[in-house]
A and B are shown apart, each in its own frame.
Chain A
């Protein structure tokens, strides 16, 4: 059976149109999104590994090298077996730092543009023969089917042009490689499916169509034992291990494999599925190869063993199988060429074109995205046409496998570099570049020059060079050994004798996932808007706008973000996003150039803490041994802090909030994500004012601060302590760096209410004690009034007497009014209602208290003497201070004998006003003096005292920032000394301001 060229042309065009349709449907969302994200689709898309070398060439390879052909797939299985330690770390790296190609990865790790350029050039040189191989496979498959031996150069060109169109439309839809191409992934997966179906169909045809079933095939094998022996023998004698190593490297280092495995990976978890499913796909693909080979040997078609796959189908009756097989071949070639070209175009763009031309010298109106997009499209066109040119130049007797293996040895040269990247931080850029140059040179001499010589391209004058490549035995083992040996030795040796730059060390730590220090420096820009302005100077306004908006969206930040820590994250994110667009080095250059940082500023502690915690969270599953135990300890301590029933707020030396525990969140109603990383001044009221004020004062404790929070009055005790930075000692100051301050907040609201209620009870008790005296005191004037009234009744005639009596009556009623007024005012003082502090005269205050105490029975018999300086003014709560003196004087009366004196002295001694209440009573025993300020402690008989008098005095004086001390000698009397600050006025003023801030007045 033969076919006409036009029939095959139509089938090919129809198939490629179907491919367009599938890709288009996936891009437009006509196919379910789940399909593109399904692990099976991802796995099948990795099938781009199987090119026409696998599709056609495997049979030829098996004919020449027996089961050695399996190494090309077993090597991949070995690489995928190491998914958790090899592929996942690379996937993490490419996603985290938006690295689109192997050249990006190496340029990022070794921080060298030259490394990127070399990798790109080497890849181009290594892959061009491979591209040529694909074009050749398609044209030769046409020759097999049409039985026409003339090369179809124009058809090959047509094929290349169609691929250019497809790659441009579906592989370069976005300006950068950072966006995923769902259409491309689905189309490549579909191509893999066609390849698999076609090969399985040919395999079944070989077994059933050619031999008549498995039994007959076994019979044929038994009759021809040499057929099976020819498969096993090369395994024992051939370059089995070398080929395994080459395939192992190719599995993830070939540009197309890297592109599909890492760059186009939509869902990272699909890699777990592909780890076993992709080797299974390869196994199924290769299952049919031995039966096809034997069918070919049995039928001996005209085609070479490379094309037995097609050749034996022509012995069948149906034209469907040959056409399906031909389409399988087209699939294999087209998928490889498209993906390989996309990957190479991305490398060339980032490492050859952009470094030479960026920033493009264009007008500000230029759409840079468009510029990048069209740049990639032009590169795609050039690369595919270069592959076509190479195809025209090459000598056609070279086996498909030979061309493929040249590429495999080329990409194996990146193995030392990738091992250094993942596991050897000591590796340096000089080591990498020298290794690559050394290995590359040996590769060129041993493999490329002989190929060029055989194709007649090499000038005769260089013929002597090719002698190195001509070796007896196993040329692939020879070339692989020498390239890798030279490469590896140079890489390791030069890395050991050179030192990595700081940038490189940082990148190495990032690659080995050991980076635990955040990037230093604080962005000079103070808002995203300023980022845009600065970026626009190099990238143009539109790109700056889009990149900043994208980075803000990625981080979930608002456009008015001002937090320094977040702005630093924004800068990093912009760099990573730009890396996906223009490559890692150019991205760093743009960001370093435009989004400058102040590197002299020490890292904000909040940023460091946050960064380290983030990194630890990310790498938690990778910690082991002591590191894991330390992490557990860290978590334990953090949890202790979080669960502490006191509010904890740690503040960095730059006054940014570092820590905000749960109790603090409950007290303030602000969650930690709203506060951590923010400057203290940006916290909502009343917290900003409260904490700032507290940090400004010298006091380490602030007691009973009243704050209006969440609509209710709260009372807090504040404590603070300086944190010593565990990072080290400040050499200049010879003391530890300041690590900020920790503020503890104790909520006393409930306790305060309880105290207020107790104080009220105490007051009522005092009134009860005063009641008898009051009755007596009121009784006297009432009796006087009654007598005067009776006298007036009997002696109405004397107007002078009446007038005098009425005046006396009025005098007596004033006396009663005064008594009642004092009592009422005392009973109301210090209730829950807060009195506004105000200046008052201390002498008058003491006088009021004495008047009240004189009402009591005991008070009447004591001689009170107010010797306080008349002009002393105190700023505070007048009513509560009366309460203080009433309590002190009552105690003095109780301790004194009738007729004793109680003296109150008051004087100003500079910073303090000292008031001493002295009695000459029985005094307090020394062992009891420490207890008298404790609540409910009393020396009086049961029912006579509540034990709350002196504690209340203590509290009220403490609230006025004063102190109370006691001096007493049993039998000689007691002096209670109050010291109240004169500067109280100012301090109180500060707190008032805070309170006002807190209340939001």
Chain B
């Protein structure tokens, strides 16, 4: 009957993940991972990390056809 708390939590997670991504990509943290001498694949690892988090998030998406 009630609004699925799962759905609400999922939206919260999406926003949190987006903020985390912004924190990683457009903040002073950028100077840390883009420092000279870091392995060349480090940006890809960070990117992959975001994708894995996104995958886990989507995997939990409730089957809600009313969304569309």
Residues of A within 8 A of B (CB): 67, 70, 74, 77-78, 80-85, 88, 91-92, 95, 221, 225, 228-229, 231-233, 235-236, 240-241, 244, 268-269, 272-273, 275-276, 279-280, 283, 286-287, 290, 617-624, 628, 631-632, 635-636
A232 contacts B18, C-beta separation under 8 Å: no
The docked-state distance in angstroms from the alpha carbon of A276 to that of B56 is 9
Q: Which residues of A contact B40 (CB under 8 A)?
A: 221, 228, 231, 290
Is the beta-carbon distance between A232 and B34 smaller than 8 angstroms?
Answer: yes
Query: Do the beta carbons of B58 and A628 come within 8 Å of each other?
Result: no
Do residues B26 and A81 form an inter-chain contact, with CB atoms below 8 A?
no
**What separation, in Å, do the CA atoms of A624 and B8 have in the docked complex?**
8
Q: Contact between B11 and A279 (Cβ–Cβ < 8 Å)? A: no
| A619: B residues at CB distance < 8 A | 66
Instruction: Taking A621-B3, A632-B2 as given, write out 5 further A-B residue pairs in contact, using a Cβ cutoff of 8 Å, ordered by the A residue number.
Output: A84-B10, A92-B67, A235-B30, A283-B48, A635-B1
A interface footprint on B5-25 (CB within 8 Å = 1, 0 otherwise): 001101100110110011001
Provide the bound-state CA to CA distance between A268 and B67, in Å.
10
In the assembled complex, the Cα of A272 lies from the Cα of B50 at a distance in Å of 15
Asked whether, in the complex, the Cβ of A273 is within 8 Å of the Cβ of B50, the reply is no
Query: Given the complex of chains A and B, what is the CA–CA distance between A77 and B68 in angstroms?
Result: 21
> Provided the pairs A85-B11, A235-B30 are in contact, do residues A276 and B58 lie with their beta carbons within 8 angstroms?
yes
| B22: chain A residues within 8 A (beta carbon) | 78
In the bound complex, do residue A84 and residue B3 qualify as a contact, i.e. CB atoms below 8 Å apart? no
Residues of chain A within 8 A (CB-CB) of B8 are 624
The answer to whether A275 and B54 have CB atoms under 8 Å apart is yes
Instruction: Report yes or no: A228 in contact with B36, Cβ–Cβ below 8 A.
Output: yes
Closest to A291 in B: B40
| A930 to B44 CA separation, bound complex (whole angstroms) | 92
A283 CB contact (under 8 Å) in B10, B51, B57, B61: B51
Which residues on the A side are within 8 Å of B14 (C-beta)?
81-85
Cα of A280 to Cα of B61 in the assembled complex, Å:
19
Q: How many A-B residue pairs have CB under 8 A?
A: 113
Given contacts A81-B18, A92-B67, A275-B58, contact A74 B25 (CB under 8 A): yes
| Given contacts A70-B43, A620-B3, A82 and B51 within 8 Å (CB-CB) | no
Residues of A within 8 A of B3 (CB): 620-621, 623-624, 628, 631
Binary CB contact string for chain B from 22 to 44 against chain A (1 if under 8 A, 0 otherwise): 10011000110011111010011
A82 to B48, CA, bound (A): 17
B26 / chain A contacts, CB cutoff of 8 Å: 240-241, 244
| Contact status B67-A88, CB under 8 Å | yes
- Picked from A81, A91, A628, A632, the residue with its CB within 8 Å of the CB of B17 is A81
Asked if B66 contacts A621 (CB within 8 A), the reply is yes
User: Which residue of chain B is the closest to A226 with respect to CB atoms?
Assistant: B36
Q: Which of A70, A88, A276 contacts B54 (CB 8 A)?
A: A276
* Given A77-B51, A228-B36, A279-B50: A628 touches B18 (CB 8 Å cut-off): no
Q: Separation in Å of the B34 CB from the closest CB of chain A?
A: 4
Please tell me if the beta carbons of A632 and B1 are within 8 angstroms of each other in the complex: yes
CA distance A186 to B50 in the complex (A): 28
The interface residues of chain B lying within 8 Å CB-to-CB of A275 are 54, 58
Chain B residues, Cβ within 8 Å of A88: 67-68
Cα-based distance from A228 to B63 in the complex (angstroms): 45
Q: How far is the CB of A214 from chain B (nearest CB, A)?
A: 10
The closest CB in chain A to the CB of B10 belongs to A84
Interface centre among B35, B43, B57, B63 (most CB of A within 10 A): B43
